[in-house]
Structure 1
Amino acid sequence: MEVRINGKPETVADKSTVGSVLAARELDPALVSVEHNGNILERSQLDSAVLSEGDELEILFFMGGGQA
């Protein structure tokens, strides 16, 4: 099925969860924040949030930085 991840169409397996998408991308859930159809998910929800055709995910990466 097709979903949008960070604004780009991508194909994922039927009944994929947000957690399985992160795992397939080798992303550590502790290092990202995920918005699913406009709602920010708690980390405890990642493996139970099942994707449907046309869903939208925004995966936000934590970045360090500042002045040296």
Structure 2
Amino acid sequence: MSKTITVNGEPRSLPDGATLADLVADLGQPPQALATAVNGEFVPRGARAGVHLDDGDAVFTFQPITGG
């Protein structure tokens, strides 16, 4: 079974049970290089493995903003 989510506005299929950490790994970018939000809620890097993605979820990835 699989589910369909959107990543930065593009549809993507994932296997059931996939987490945000799984998705970030599949994107092929270093996890520390991306900030993530699911359905408009920021998800810290350390919490990604505990966020299970559901059918219809909207995930956004973006470059973290640093500086002072």
Give the alignment's TM-score, normalised by structure 2. Answer: 0.84
Give the distance between the partners of 2:42 and 2:64, measured in 1 at CA: 14
Q: What is the RMSD of the two structures over their aligned residues, measured on CA atoms?
A: 1.4
The aligned counterpart of 1:18 is: 20
Give the distance between the partners of 2:51 and 2:61, measured in 1 at CA: 14
Unpaired segments of 5 or more residues in structure 2? Answer: none
| Structure with the higher fraction of residues in helix conformation | 2
Q: 1:62: Cα distance to partner?
A: 4.5
The aligned counterpart of 2:30 is: 28
Unpaired segments of 5 or more residues in structure 1? Answer: 64-68
Question: Residue 45 of structure 1: which of 34, 42, 47 is its match?
Answer: 47
Which of structure 1's runs of 4+ aligned residues deviate more than 6 A?
none
Give the distance between the partners of 1:44 and 1:30, measured in 2 at CA: 10
Write the letter of the residue equivalent to 1:12: L
Percent of counterpart pairs with the same letter?
A: 21
| Structure with the higher fraction of residues in strand conformation | 2
* 1:4-49 alpha-carbon deviations (Å, 9 max, x no partner): 0000111111110000011112222211100111100011111110
Give the alignment's TM-score, normalised by structure 1. Answer: 0.84
- Quick check: which has more Rg, 1 or 2? 1
Give the distance between the partners of 1:49 and 1:41, measured in 2 at CA: 8
